[in-house]
A = this chain, B = another copy of it.
Amino acid sequence: MPNVLVLPGDGIGLEITPEAVKVLEAVLKDHPQSLKFEYGLIGGAAIDVVGKALPDATLEAAQAADAILLGSVGGPKWDTLPAPQRPELGGLLAIRKALGLFANIRPVKMLPMLVDASTLKTEVVKNVDLVVLRELTGGLYFGEKGRGTNPRSAFDNLIYTEEEIQRIVELGFQTAMKRRKKLCSVDKANVLESSRFWREITLEVAKNYPEVELTHMYVDNAAMQLVRWPEQFDVIVTENMFGDILTDLASMLMGSIGMISSASLNGSKGLYEPAHGSAPDIAGKNIANPLATILSGALMLRYSFGLEEEAQKIERAVEQVLQEGYRTADLAKPGDKVLGTREMGDAVVKALK
């Protein structure tokens, strides 16, 4: 039986992950494939208990697991620690790096009943259906960094190898082949050497995918185009830092990142988590929105276990609950039926039937 390691993390992570597990268990009830759930510590919760954000036991369990479901990490309590020890860098970035999860996938698909929540005009966003693929273990965030004296200064290095670019771009083309066959590679090739290299490798990989329509876009233009005409995009592939900015920007087209799920992959091994953070201000109140984590569970079924039908069952159940007018507080408008975190999980389970 495949193993899923659940890492609730901090803040609302503790409340939203149980709802996703609840939904995964419900959709696989009476199914020949079932999953075993194990639990571990990460982030601030791990710092408090074990003294480090990514305990050895957690890393070992993650390496042994077939998939990982993560809530969220971080909070003001740990913000005074040196950065490498903090929940984000020492926990989340460290586990991604240790597991070689080089590809972050973030689907952004507008649901008709949520289109009003967007700050963009309905006609601009109503048909948005795109995926941002972000390189996750290379580039500026992982390069050598440090301080200098005389003059006082600080530096970070951006470096990409051929292999790092190849594998994420390859996945970009594969993802495009399963969708509308359009790939937009985002770089800053007019200024950065690493971007020019990125573009060269992309053009090499493109030779194997003659059916995919490949375009290149500078990152500043891509940020504009996501606001100007987001429906032009099918699959976007880009490097780590550009992807960090563009995934969040693309998600905000939905009006909130409360609904955005994500997968971080290395082959079929994957870490699944909501795009939003640990929201310490609303933690422990049973008001957090668990849908992004529930949808991350659907991505897990799709990418790690090949259970496409069950993944779609979850996605349809979430749509149905929203269609019926149920919302968590973050998405609620006058007239909506507001549910708590647990109650929203229950509603999705009920809609699976």
Contacts and interface: CB of A to CB of B under 8 A. Distances in A.
Q: State the oligomeric state as a number of copies.
A: 2
Given A190-B89, A194-B156, A251-B224, A151 B163 contact: yes
Interface in A249-288: 249, 251-253, 255, 257
Given A160-B154, A161-B153, A193-B155, A244 B220 contact: yes
Nearest to A253: B227
A323 interface: no
B249 A249 contact: yes
A157 to B, nearest CB: 5
Given A157-B158, A163-B151, A140 B253 contact: no
Interface residues of A, number: 59
A101 B289 CA distance: 46
A88 interface: yes
Contact of A192 (B141, B148, B152, B162): B141
A159 B155 contact: yes
A89 B145 CA distance: 26
A232 interface: no
Interface string A182-223: 000000111111101110000000000000000000011101
A146 interface: yes
Interface string A232-255: 000000000100111111011101
A121 interface: yes
A237 to B, nearest CB: 17
A95 to B, nearest CB: 15
A93 B191 CA distance: 9
A301 to B, nearest CB: 28
A83 interface: yes
Given A120-B227, A196-B154, A224-B251, A88 B161 contact: no
A190 B83 contact: yes
A190 B145 CA distance: 13
A36 to B, nearest CB: 34
A193 B145 contact: yes
Nearest to A240: B191
Contact of A153 (B151, B156, B159, B190): B159
A126 interface: no
A347 to B, nearest CB: 26
Interface string A28-57: 000000000000000000000000000000
A327 interface: no
Contacts of A193: 145-147, 154-156
A143 B156 CA distance: 10
A97 interface: no
Nearest to A141: B191
A249 B219 CA distance: 10
Interface in A113-154: 119-121, 124, 140-141, 143, 145-148, 151-154
A96 interface: no
B156 A155 contact: no
B156 A158 contact: yes
A228 interface: yes
A33 B164 CA distance: 59
Given A155-B157, A188-B244, A227-B252, 5 more contacts: A93-B191, A119-B227, A120-B121, A224-B257, A227-B249
